[in-house]
Structure 1
């Protein structure tokens, strides 16, 4: 009995098995470790950039020294970071980005003039946001709020 034709079939089946095993291992490695780590790093970077932009917009919203101050500046924020909602709030004289993911979130200190007496408010992601600056020459209030 001659079984030479069977050796070709076995060779092809072994080759396909090795290729499928390789694809399975690569997929498991990527989705098990590399891709989530990359997504987390990108989310943290976007969070830092968002907070830096928000800090810059707060600083730019405060007009030069004047008798009476009244300004409203719109601030554009991403709707989500890493697929989740977040908020930016004041904490003393700092801005804090709060996010459900523990690796995403940071704190920044805007450079505010001495005449800024009150710095308060909070922004929720996904809604239009503004910085409202009001007051007199020596008593300025800066408020983060939703656009009306």
Structure 2
């Protein structure tokens, strides 16, 4: 009889430990299976939108308000990565497009530029680069997105 009573506390503690381990495993699975990835997707999407809007604002601000002959270079700083992956911002059809490997991150935003801007070309890898405004031989200006600065600078 005493041997049966001596085992009861040990079995009770083992059951308590098993219940705690089961609870922790269930909570961890629920968090990493649904809540945490959803939060990372939402945060990545928000960072992507902000980076794209910041890039568009910098491109628009680089174009001088007046004058047909202009040469300007402006540095643009952007996040190195979004959601732990690299990305690219490129010019396409009067807009900036963010391309990313994850489907929750990406998008495009139109550029609001004066009529004298003939084209916008180029791309930046994550981290940004420079935006150059160069005179076009036929009049007006061309906007170029590049990873490396040139000799011309407005700063």
Q: TM-score, normalised by structure 2?
A: 0.89
Runs (4+) off by over 4 Å: none
Alignment-derived partner of residue 16 in structure 1: 17
Alignment-derived partner of residue 43 in structure 1: 44
Alignment-derived partner of residue 32 in structure 2: 31
Alignment-derived partner of residue 135 in structure 2: 135
Alignment-derived partner of residue 56 in structure 1: 57
1:120 deviates by 0.9
Distance of 1:64 and 1:56 partners within structure 2: 14
Distance of 1:141 and 1:27 partners within structure 2: 53
SS across alignment from 2:58: helix
Residues 1:110 and 2:111 are matched in the alignment: yes
Residues 1:146 and 2:142 are matched in the alignment: no
Alignment-derived partner of residue 5 in structure 1: 6
Q: Where does structure 1 lack aligned partners over 5 or more consecutive residues?
A: none
Distance of 1:39 and 1:48 partners within structure 2: 14
Q: For structure 1, which segment, 108-117 or 4-13, has the greater mean C-alpha deviation from structure 2 after superposition?
A: 4-13
1:112 deviates by 0.5
1:119 deviates by 1.1
Distance of 1:41 and 1:116 partners within structure 2: 35
CA RMSD of aligned residues (A): 1.6
Contact 2:48–2:82 at 8 Å: present in 1 too? yes
Q: For structure 1, which segment, 20-29 or 6-15, has the greater mean C-alpha deviation from structure 2 after superposition?
A: 6-15
1:5 deviates by 2.2
* Number of residues of Structure 1 aligned to a counterpart in Structure 2: 147
SS across alignment from 1:90: strand
